[in-house]
A and B are shown apart, each in its own frame.
Chain A
Amino acid sequence: MAAPPVERPAAADPSAAAPGRSAARPTREALLLVLAGLGILALAVASMFVGVSDVSLPNLLAGDETAWQVFWVSRIPRTLAVILAGTAVAVAGLIMQLMARNRFVEPSTVGTVESATLGILVVTVAAPAAPLLAKMGVASVFALLGTALFLAVLQRLPARNTLLVPLVGMMLGGVIAAVTTFFAYRYDLLQTLNNWMVGDFSGVLRGRYELLWIVAALTVAGYVAADRFTVAGMGADFTTNLGLNYKAIMRLGLTIVALISAVVVTTVGAVPFLGLVVPNMVSLAFGDNLRRAVPWTAVFGAGFVLVCDIIGRTIRYPYEVPVGMVMSVLGAAVFLVLLLRGRTIRG
């Protein structure tokens, strides 16, 4: 009996009150989503033709072999990597926010990303020859532990102070990052460390990004289980009362978030604030209905990173600015706006 509201948060929609519009609304929504998808596609196509090598449509049509090679080996993998990472990190941020029931958390504000970086560093020092998959595994374990630590601290905060939660998370991340920096300094790995701390798609080539498909599967898993995370965010008692296994849900969410962060950090580096900015924007535009929010979050996540990556590639043409740098400026600015906007509402 308790199941329906859990399975369909849409029941709270005003559609029940306005039966005439209920049929039109999903179609319009779907239409918008399709349009947005087309927009992403356009951005992706644009992304494929931005770069130093001469790859243009006439070029490709003329059967220029170098152009085709660059297209297959570099441009398409890069664009795919951007879309995969953008989608996954944005959805991971949303899941994190649901579980912590706080708008201002995401993998890079709670220490997940920093823990993953520490994990990669540890495996690089201990077993430099380990294959990428093994590094990813270790990074995932560290990310899992770091996030679990944060959630454990979170449970101890008596009042769920909206601002205290990200503050504690960011500091936790800072302390972990200091440990990482110390060991990187000790083993002369500071420069390598920078590769993981600042997201950059310029190194993405065919054969070097395929592991990102893992996060696509994780994103889908996140979508399927999204409503459960909302319920889990309401607390252990509430969740159990609805007949769901609270601990299992939290474990699932934790695993998805940690794996996504670890895989993205190991393949392209950290993409700061993405998981914070996108879900908040979606929530402002479309409200908090989760079934609707997840696809929009995914679409906007991909779009946002695509735009940032294109900016990074053109702003200093022919050189590239890593997408992580563009993101940290844009993301921090949006975060500030969100914080101060909240103040005027609360005050």
Chain B
Amino acid sequence: MADAPTLPTIPPAAAQRRAPRRLSPATATVLLAVAALVAIALFMTVDLKGNLGYVLPRRGVRVGAMVLVAVAVGISTLMFQTVTANRILTPSIMGFDALYVLIQTSLVFTVGASTVNTAPPALKFVAEVALMVVFSGLLYRWLFTGGARSLHLMLLVGIVLGTLFRGFSGLLQRLMEPSEFLILQDLFFASFNQVDPALLAVAAAIVGAIAVAVWRMRHTLDVLALGRDAAVNLGVNHRRAVTMVLVMCSVLVAVSTALVGPVTFFGLLVVSLGYQLCRSFSHAWLLPITILLGVVALVGGQLVLEQVFGFATALSIIIEFTGGLLFLYLLLKGSLK
């Protein structure tokens, strides 16, 4: 009897906070999946002419890269926000991808482009990711565990760190031999149009493995979302879980940056939209919805830009613009409360 009144009161209270017209998580997932498939199908087939054996694999590689980036950015941002218990911090805003570019640059700067280039790509990638994990781990553990946890301070420190990393990479690139810089240039100005097919396979394997691992720990993530004290109380090894999440985030950011270069606000955009769309706070729904949104946004956005407006590489600029506005909105909304 004592339990009976408490159970039914939860759904109305929850429904009150959200608009009643929202889709159920399952419907949203199915609709998004359909939209993603349509976008991919259109992207592969629209304006298809010429040598199919040449065009289709090229388009396939681009779609593959976009899907991988959507998965990597979606998962990493969602986990990062869960662990840090807020909706505005993302790995990119905290300078993760700038750090990756800096590590790549420093690697070429110290050991030379020829060594970097002759090493097998998989080994090189693993080495870069390992460095990335170590440095970001040190940096962000220090930041997250250090005394005052003012959100604004962390954001500002993250943004300035990103500026510092970018500035330092820029400086190192200037100090390089022009021939070495040329090799790096391919990496930095990577866009959704130029993706290395060899890298794609490695990236797919890594992202796939992490996606499986994250899916298996989705319930742990639900608990982590309750905050540190609650999570510890419910028997989660908080420190270990957070470290794992940060490591996985570092790897995912490294993969996505290696594939298409830094896209600062993409994660913020899709995860914010995902929370708006998903009526549930369960990661079992949030994860697929965020990923599918990412696929729709990237593939659909690229399709619309290319076919309707005739711009090829402007998608990342548009993401920066809308993402920046969203960030400002979240920032001002949060502080005006």
Residues of A within 8 A of B (CB): 104, 153, 156-159, 161, 163-164, 166-168, 170-172, 174-175, 178-179, 181-182, 185-186, 272, 315-316, 319, 321-322, 325-326, 328-329, 332-333, 335-336, 339-340, 343-344, 346-347
Contact = CB atoms under 8 A, between A and B. Distances in A.
Contacts of A161: 152, 335
A168 B332 CA distance: 8
Nearest to A342: B153
Interface string B301-335: 00000000001011001101100110110011001
Contact of B167 (A157, A178, A332): A332
Contact of A170 (B153, B159, B313): B159
A182 B163 contact: no
Contacts of B150: 163, 343
14 contacts: A104-B156, A156-B332, A158-B335, A164-B152, A168-B328, A174-B320, A174-B324, A175-B321, A185-B314, A316-B175, A321-B171, A329-B164, A332-B164, A347-B147
B304 to A, nearest CB: 15
Question: A175, A272, A315, A319 — which one has the most chain B CB atoms within 10 A of its CB?
Answer: A175
Question: A171, A175, A179, A181 — which one has the most chain B CB atoms within 10 A of its CB?
Answer: A171
Given A163-B153, A167-B159, A185 B313 contact: yes
Given A174-B320, A182-B314, A166 B175 contact: no
Nearest to A183: B317
Interface of B: 146-148, 150, 152-153, 155-157, 159-161, 163-164, 166-168, 170-171, 174-175, 311, 313-314, 317-318, 320-321, 324-325, 327-328, 331-332, 335-336
Contacts of A316: 174-175
Given A174-B324, A175-B325, A315-B175, A332 B160 contact: yes
Nearest to A104: B156
B157 A336 contact: yes
A228 B139 CA distance: 42
A343 B155 contact: no
B88 to A, nearest CB: 10
Interface majority SS (helix, strand, loop, mixed), chain A? helix
Contacts of A344: 147
Given A178-B318, A178-B320, 19 more contacts: A153-B332, A161-B335, A164-B335, A168-B328, A168-B331, A178-B317, A179-B321, A181-B320, A185-B317, A186-B314, A319-B174, A321-B171, A322-B174, A329-B168, A332-B161, A336-B161, A336-B164, A339-B156, A340-B157
Nearest to B166: A328
B314 A158 contact: no
Contact of A328 (B153, B167, B313, B332): B167
A340 B314 CA distance: 36
Contacts of B166: 328
Contacts of B164: 328-329, 332-333, 336
Contact of A325 (B159, B171, B311): B171
A346 B148 contact: yes
A182 B335 contact: no
A171 B150 CA distance: 18
Nearest to A162: B152
Contacts of A182: 314, 317-318, 321
Given A175-B324, A332-B167, A167 B317 contact: no
Question: A157, A316, A332, A335 — which one has the most chain B CB atoms within 10 A of its CB?
Answer: A332
B269 to A, nearest CB: 13
Contact of B328 (A175, A185, A319): A175
Contacts of B336: 156-158
A347 B174 contact: no
Contacts of B168: 329
B324 A171 contact: yes
Contacts of B161: 332, 336
A159 B332 CA distance: 11
Nearest to A176: B324
B321 A321 contact: no
A171 B175 contact: no
Nearest to A175: B324
A159 B337 CA distance: 11
A329 B268 CA distance: 26
A347 B148 contact: yes
Contacts of B155: 163, 167
Contact of B327 (A166, A171, A315): A171
Contacts of A156: 332, 336
B193 to A, nearest CB: 13
A328 B160 CA distance: 10
The 4 closest A-B pairs by CB, nearest first: A328-B167, A332-B164, A163-B152, A178-B321
A24 to B, nearest CB: 41
B309 to A, nearest CB: 10
Nearest to B327: A171
Contacts of A153: 332
A252 to B, nearest CB: 28
B31 to A, nearest CB: 30
Contacts of B328: 168, 171-172, 175
A185 B155 CA distance: 29
A335 B146 CA distance: 18
Nearest to B309: A186
